[in-house]
Protein backbone atom coordinates (compact mmCIF):
# COMPACT_ATOMS: atom_id res chain seq x y z
CA UNK A 1 0.00 0.00 0.00
CA UNK A 2 1.37 3.40 -0.96
CA UNK A 3 1.97 5.69 2.01
CA UNK A 4 -0.31 8.37 0.64
CA UNK A 5 -3.19 5.88 0.42
CA UNK A 6 -2.65 4.73 3.97
CA UNK A 7 -5.60 5.98 6.05
CA UNK A 8 -4.28 5.61 9.58
CA UNK A 9 -4.99 2.00 10.37
CA UNK A 10 -2.14 2.64 12.77
CA UNK A 11 -4.39 4.65 15.06
CA UNK A 12 -6.15 1.49 16.11
CA UNK A 13 -2.88 -0.01 17.26
CA UNK A 14 -2.03 3.30 18.77
CA UNK A 15 18.92 -2.32 11.25
CA UNK A 16 21.69 -10.84 11.60
CA UNK A 17 25.10 -11.84 11.05
CA UNK A 18 26.43 -8.40 10.30
CA UNK A 19 25.70 -4.80 11.16
CA UNK A 20 24.01 -4.30 7.80
CA UNK A 21 21.78 -7.36 8.03
CA UNK A 22 18.53 -5.41 8.21
CA UNK A 23 19.09 -2.83 5.45
CA UNK A 24 16.72 -2.50 2.55
CA UNK A 25 18.02 -4.27 -0.57
CA UNK A 26 17.65 -1.14 -2.72
CA UNK A 27 20.01 1.10 -0.79
CA UNK A 28 20.39 3.62 -3.61
CA UNK A 29 16.66 3.97 -4.33
CA UNK A 30 15.69 7.57 -5.00
CA UNK A 31 12.07 7.05 -6.06
CA UNK A 32 11.34 9.90 -8.41
CA UNK A 33 7.95 8.36 -9.32
CA UNK A 34 6.06 9.19 -6.12
CA UNK A 35 2.45 10.25 -6.61
CA UNK A 36 1.51 13.85 -6.04
CA UNK A 37 -2.06 13.24 -4.79
CA UNK A 38 -2.15 13.19 -1.00
CA UNK A 39 -4.82 11.97 1.41
CA UNK A 40 -5.08 13.91 4.64
CA UNK A 41 -5.21 11.97 7.90
CA UNK A 42 -4.24 12.54 11.48
CA UNK A 43 -0.70 11.34 12.21
CA UNK A 44 -0.22 9.12 15.21
CA UNK A 45 1.13 10.55 18.48
CA UNK A 46 4.87 10.45 18.89
CA UNK A 47 6.39 7.65 20.92
CA UNK A 48 7.64 8.64 24.35
CA UNK A 49 11.08 7.12 23.79
CA UNK A 50 12.97 8.03 20.64
CA UNK A 51 12.79 4.74 18.74
CA UNK A 52 14.52 4.73 15.33
CA UNK A 53 13.40 2.35 12.57
CA UNK A 54 15.55 1.53 9.57
CA UNK A 55 14.90 1.47 5.84
CA UNK A 56 13.12 -1.65 4.63
CA UNK A 57 11.08 -2.12 7.81
CA UNK A 58 7.80 -0.68 6.41
CA UNK A 59 7.99 -1.18 2.64
CA UNK A 60 4.59 -2.88 2.40
CA UNK A 61 2.98 0.30 3.71
CA UNK A 62 5.35 2.93 2.34
CA UNK A 63 6.82 1.40 -0.80
CA UNK A 64 10.48 1.16 -1.80
CA UNK A 65 11.18 4.87 -2.03
CA UNK A 66 13.36 5.99 0.88
CA UNK A 67 11.71 9.39 1.22
CA UNK A 68 8.25 7.83 1.42
CA UNK A 69 9.56 5.44 4.06
CA UNK A 70 10.84 8.33 6.18
CA UNK A 71 7.51 10.10 5.88
CA UNK A 72 5.63 6.95 6.87
CA UNK A 73 7.87 6.51 9.93
CA UNK A 74 7.17 10.08 11.01
CA UNK A 75 3.42 9.65 10.47
CA UNK A 76 3.55 6.48 12.58
CA UNK A 77 5.03 8.44 15.51
CA UNK A 78 8.74 7.72 15.17
CA UNK A 79 11.08 10.66 15.73
CA UNK A 80 14.37 9.26 14.39
CA UNK A 81 15.89 7.02 11.74
CA UNK A 82 19.02 4.90 11.83
CA UNK A 83 20.80 3.60 8.76
CA UNK A 84 23.89 1.43 9.15
CA UNK A 85 24.61 1.71 5.45
CA UNK A 86 24.27 5.49 5.12
CA UNK A 87 27.96 5.96 4.36
CA UNK A 88 27.65 3.76 1.26
CA UNK A 89 24.75 5.67 -0.26
CA UNK A 90 25.32 8.13 -3.13
CA UNK A 91 25.91 11.68 -1.95
CA UNK A 92 22.71 12.98 -3.56
CA UNK A 93 20.68 10.29 -1.77
CA UNK A 94 22.26 11.22 1.55
CA UNK A 95 21.29 14.82 0.94
CA UNK A 96 17.69 13.95 0.05
CA UNK A 97 17.36 11.79 3.16
CA UNK A 98 18.74 14.59 5.33
CA UNK A 99 16.37 17.13 3.79
CA UNK A 100 13.30 14.98 4.38
CA UNK A 101 14.32 14.23 7.95
CA UNK A 102 14.79 17.94 8.60
CA UNK A 103 11.39 18.65 7.09
CA UNK A 104 9.77 16.09 9.38
CA UNK A 105 11.77 17.13 12.45
CA UNK A 106 13.51 13.76 12.79
CA UNK A 107 16.94 12.94 14.18
CA UNK A 108 19.55 10.75 12.52
CA UNK A 109 20.77 7.75 14.50
CA UNK A 110 23.91 5.72 13.94
CA UNK A 111 25.58 4.76 10.72
CA UNK A 112 28.59 2.43 10.50
CA UNK A 113 31.75 4.51 10.42
CA UNK A 114 34.22 2.06 8.88
CA UNK A 115 34.51 -1.15 6.89
CA UNK A 116 34.47 -4.33 8.96
CA UNK A 117 36.02 -7.69 8.09
CA UNK A 118 34.45 -10.05 10.60
CA UNK A 119 37.39 -12.45 10.40
CA UNK A 120 40.19 -9.90 10.73
CA UNK A 121 41.82 -8.58 13.92
CA UNK A 122 41.66 -4.94 12.91
CA UNK A 123 42.14 -2.68 15.92
CA UNK A 124 43.11 -5.43 18.35
CA UNK A 125 46.13 -6.43 16.28
CA UNK A 126 48.05 -3.19 16.71
CA UNK A 127 48.90 -3.29 13.01
CA UNK A 128 49.75 0.29 12.07
CA UNK A 129 48.53 -0.03 8.48
CA UNK A 130 45.11 -1.23 9.65
CA UNK A 131 45.00 1.56 12.22
CA UNK A 132 45.71 4.22 9.61
CA UNK A 133 43.02 2.80 7.34
CA UNK A 134 40.54 2.92 10.23
CA UNK A 135 41.44 6.54 11.00
CA UNK A 136 41.10 7.48 7.33
CA UNK A 137 37.57 6.08 7.35
CA UNK A 138 36.77 7.97 10.54
CA UNK A 139 37.79 11.21 8.81
CA UNK A 140 35.51 10.33 5.89
CA UNK A 141 32.68 9.66 8.34
CA UNK A 142 32.94 13.19 9.70
CA UNK A 143 31.80 14.48 6.30
CA UNK A 144 28.94 11.98 6.17
CA UNK A 145 27.80 12.90 9.68
CA UNK A 146 27.72 16.58 8.82
CA UNK A 147 25.85 15.93 5.59
CA UNK A 148 23.06 13.93 7.26
CA UNK A 149 23.04 15.77 10.61
CA UNK A 150 24.21 12.69 12.53
CA UNK A 151 25.97 12.75 15.88
CA UNK A 152 26.67 9.04 16.46
CA UNK A 153 28.56 6.48 14.41
CA UNK A 154 29.13 2.78 15.13
CA UNK A 155 32.64 1.39 15.59
CA UNK A 156 33.49 -2.32 15.95
CA UNK A 157 37.12 -3.22 16.79
CA UNK A 158 37.04 -6.49 14.84
CA UNK A 159 38.13 -10.03 15.61
CA UNK A 160 40.42 -11.03 18.46
CA UNK A 161 44.12 -11.11 17.56
CA UNK A 162 45.07 -14.75 17.97
CA UNK A 163 48.52 -15.19 19.42
CA UNK A 164 48.46 -11.98 21.47
CA UNK A 165 47.69 -11.68 25.17
CA UNK A 166 44.29 -10.09 25.62
CA UNK A 167 45.59 -7.15 27.65
CA UNK A 168 47.94 -6.16 24.85
CA UNK A 169 45.02 -6.32 22.42
CA UNK A 170 43.06 -4.04 24.74
CA UNK A 171 45.88 -1.49 24.71
CA UNK A 172 45.93 -1.62 20.91
CA UNK A 173 42.20 -0.93 20.72
CA UNK A 174 42.39 1.90 23.25
CA UNK A 175 45.20 3.60 21.33
CA UNK A 176 43.26 3.44 18.05
CA UNK A 177 40.12 4.81 19.67
CA UNK A 178 42.04 7.64 21.34
CA UNK A 179 43.34 8.74 17.97
CA UNK A 180 39.87 8.47 16.44
CA UNK A 181 38.44 10.54 19.29
CA UNK A 182 40.96 13.29 18.53
CA UNK A 183 39.47 13.46 15.03
CA UNK A 184 35.85 13.51 16.23
CA UNK A 185 36.00 15.77 19.28
CA UNK A 186 36.40 19.09 17.42
CA UNK A 187 33.19 18.31 15.51
CA UNK A 188 31.13 17.22 18.52
CA UNK A 189 30.71 13.72 17.04
CA UNK A 190 30.60 10.46 18.97
CA UNK A 191 31.73 6.98 18.00
CA UNK A 192 29.79 4.34 19.90
CA UNK A 193 31.64 1.05 20.35
CA UNK A 194 29.39 -1.98 20.19
CA UNK A 195 29.89 -5.24 22.11
CA UNK A 196 28.65 -8.15 19.98
CA UNK A 197 27.59 -11.62 21.09
CA UNK A 198 29.71 -14.66 20.28
CA UNK A 199 27.01 -17.28 20.55
CA UNK A 200 24.49 -16.44 17.83
CA UNK A 201 25.93 -13.83 15.46
CA UNK A 202 29.57 -12.82 15.86
CA UNK A 203 31.92 -15.51 17.22
CA UNK A 204 35.43 -14.29 17.95
CA UNK A 205 34.83 -10.55 18.03
CA UNK A 206 37.18 -8.70 20.37
CA UNK A 207 34.49 -6.60 22.03
CA UNK A 208 31.68 -8.68 23.50
CA UNK A 209 30.85 -7.56 27.05
CA UNK A 210 29.49 -4.36 28.56
CA UNK A 211 32.10 -4.20 31.40
CA UNK A 212 34.82 -4.53 28.76
CA UNK A 213 33.33 -1.64 26.75
CA UNK A 214 33.05 0.40 29.94
CA UNK A 215 36.74 -0.14 30.74
CA UNK A 216 37.77 0.89 27.23
CA UNK A 217 35.66 4.06 27.27
CA UNK A 218 37.09 5.01 30.66
CA UNK A 219 40.60 4.51 29.31
CA UNK A 220 39.96 6.50 26.13
CA UNK A 221 38.49 9.21 28.36
CA UNK A 222 36.78 11.23 25.65
CA UNK A 223 33.23 12.48 25.11
CA UNK A 224 33.65 11.17 21.56
CA UNK A 225 33.94 7.53 22.67
CA UNK A 226 30.87 5.94 24.26
CA UNK A 227 29.11 2.57 24.41
CA UNK A 228 26.47 1.35 22.01
CA UNK A 229 24.49 -0.88 24.37
CA UNK A 230 22.69 -3.32 22.09
CA UNK A 231 20.12 -4.95 24.35
CA UNK A 232 19.79 -7.97 22.03
CA UNK A 233 23.52 -8.73 22.03
CA UNK A 234 23.93 -8.19 25.75
CA UNK A 235 20.98 -10.43 26.60
CA UNK A 236 22.75 -13.25 24.77
CA UNK A 237 26.22 -12.50 26.12
CA UNK A 238 25.53 -11.72 29.77
CA UNK A 239 21.88 -11.03 30.56
CA UNK A 240 21.40 -9.07 33.80
CA UNK A 241 20.36 -6.18 31.62
CA UNK A 242 19.14 -3.53 34.03
CA UNK A 243 22.06 -3.90 36.49
CA UNK A 244 24.57 -3.78 33.63
CA UNK A 245 22.86 -0.71 32.18
CA UNK A 246 23.19 0.93 35.60
CA UNK A 247 26.86 0.01 35.96
CA UNK A 248 27.82 1.31 32.52
CA UNK A 249 25.36 4.21 32.43
CA UNK A 250 27.90 7.04 32.46
CA UNK A 251 29.49 5.70 29.27
CA UNK A 252 26.36 4.70 27.32
CA UNK A 253 25.76 6.93 24.31
CA UNK A 254 23.20 4.93 22.37
CA UNK A 255 20.92 1.88 22.62
CA UNK A 256 19.84 -0.67 20.06
CA UNK A 257 16.94 -3.08 20.29
CA UNK A 258 16.06 -6.63 19.32
CA UNK A 259 14.32 -9.41 21.19
CA UNK A 260 15.88 -12.81 21.80
CA UNK A 261 15.62 -15.39 20.37
CA UNK A 262 14.94 -14.28 16.82
CA UNK A 263 16.23 -10.69 16.78
CA UNK A 264 12.80 -9.29 16.04
CA UNK A 265 10.55 -6.65 17.61
CA UNK A 266 9.91 -6.46 21.37
CA UNK A 267 7.31 -8.89 22.79
CA UNK A 268 8.43 -11.71 20.46
CA UNK A 269 11.12 -13.13 22.76
CA UNK A 270 12.25 -13.39 26.36
CA UNK A 271 13.25 -9.79 27.15
CA UNK A 272 10.85 -7.78 29.30
CA UNK A 273 11.17 -4.65 27.21
CA UNK A 274 8.41 -2.80 29.04
CA UNK A 275 10.50 -2.92 32.23
CA UNK A 276 13.80 -2.22 30.47
CA UNK A 277 12.39 0.82 28.63
CA UNK A 278 10.73 2.13 31.76
CA UNK A 279 14.06 1.90 33.59
CA UNK A 280 15.89 3.71 30.79
CA UNK A 281 13.25 6.45 30.78
CA UNK A 282 13.39 6.85 34.57
CA UNK A 283 17.16 7.33 34.36
CA UNK A 284 16.55 10.34 32.13
CA UNK A 285 17.75 8.97 28.80
CA UNK A 286 16.93 11.36 25.94
CA UNK A 287 18.93 9.69 23.19
CA UNK A 288 17.96 7.37 20.35
CA UNK A 289 17.10 3.68 20.59
CA UNK A 290 17.79 2.03 17.24
CA UNK A 291 15.44 -0.70 16.05
CA UNK A 292 18.18 -2.97 14.67
CA UNK A 293 16.02 -6.04 14.19
CA UNK A 294 13.80 -7.77 11.70
CA UNK A 295 10.02 -8.14 11.56
CA UNK A 296 8.68 -11.36 13.06
CA UNK A 297 5.88 -11.54 10.48
CA UNK A 298 5.82 -10.85 6.75
CA UNK A 299 3.74 -8.29 4.92
CA UNK A 300 1.74 -5.29 6.00
CA UNK A 301 0.34 -7.14 9.01
CA UNK A 302 3.88 -7.83 10.18
CA UNK A 303 4.76 -4.16 9.85
CA UNK A 304 1.68 -3.21 11.84
CA UNK A 305 2.71 -5.76 14.47
CA UNK A 306 6.05 -4.00 14.88
CA UNK A 307 4.34 -0.66 15.49
CA UNK A 308 1.83 -2.24 17.87
CA UNK A 309 4.64 -3.92 19.81
CA UNK A 310 6.40 -0.60 20.35
CA UNK A 311 3.14 1.01 21.44
CA UNK A 312 2.73 -1.79 23.97
CA UNK A 313 6.17 -1.37 25.58
CA UNK A 314 6.69 2.39 25.21
CA UNK A 315 6.58 3.96 28.69
CA UNK A 316 4.04 6.69 29.24
Domain ranges of the chain: 3-313
Q: What is the pLDDT of residues 185-237, one digit of tens each?
A: 999 999 999 999 999 999 999 999 999 999 999 999 999 999 999 999 999 99
29 compared with 287, residue with greater pLDDT: 287
Whether residue 27 contacts residue 85, with contact meaning beta carbons closer than 8 Å, is answered with yes
Output the CATH code of domain 3-313: 3.20.20.150
Q: Is 222 helix (H, G, I), strand (E, B) or coil?
A: coil
Across all residues in the chain, what is the average pLDDT? 90
Phi and psi (nearest 5°) for 122? -75, -80
Contacts of 56 (CB under 8 A, 6+ apart): 22, 23, 24, 25, 69
Task: Quick: pLDDT tens for 270-294.
Answer: 999 999 999 999 999 999 999 999 9
pLDDT of residue 42: 62
Which string of b and e fits 23-61 if b means at least 16 CB within 10 Å? bbeebebeeeeeeeeeeeeeebeebebbbbbbbbbbbeb
Quote the percentage of the chain above a pLDDT of 70.
Answer: 87
Q: Over the stretch 240-279, which tens digit does the pLDDT of each residue have?
A: 999 999 999 999 999 999 999 999 999 999 999 999 999 9
pLDDT digits (tens, 9 = 90+) for 67-116: 999 999 999 999 999 999 999 999 999 999 999 999 999 999 999 999 99
Indicate if the pLDDT at residue 56 is higher than 70: yes
- pTM of the entire predicted model: 0.88
Amino acid sequence: MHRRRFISSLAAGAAASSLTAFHDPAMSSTGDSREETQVTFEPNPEFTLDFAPHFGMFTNHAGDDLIDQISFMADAGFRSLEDNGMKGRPLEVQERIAAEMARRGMRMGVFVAHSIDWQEADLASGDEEKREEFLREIRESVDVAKRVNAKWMTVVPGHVALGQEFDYQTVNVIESLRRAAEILEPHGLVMVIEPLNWWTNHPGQFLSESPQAYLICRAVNSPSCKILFDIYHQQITEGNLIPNIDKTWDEIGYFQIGDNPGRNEPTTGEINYANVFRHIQQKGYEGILGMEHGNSQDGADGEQAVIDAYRAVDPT
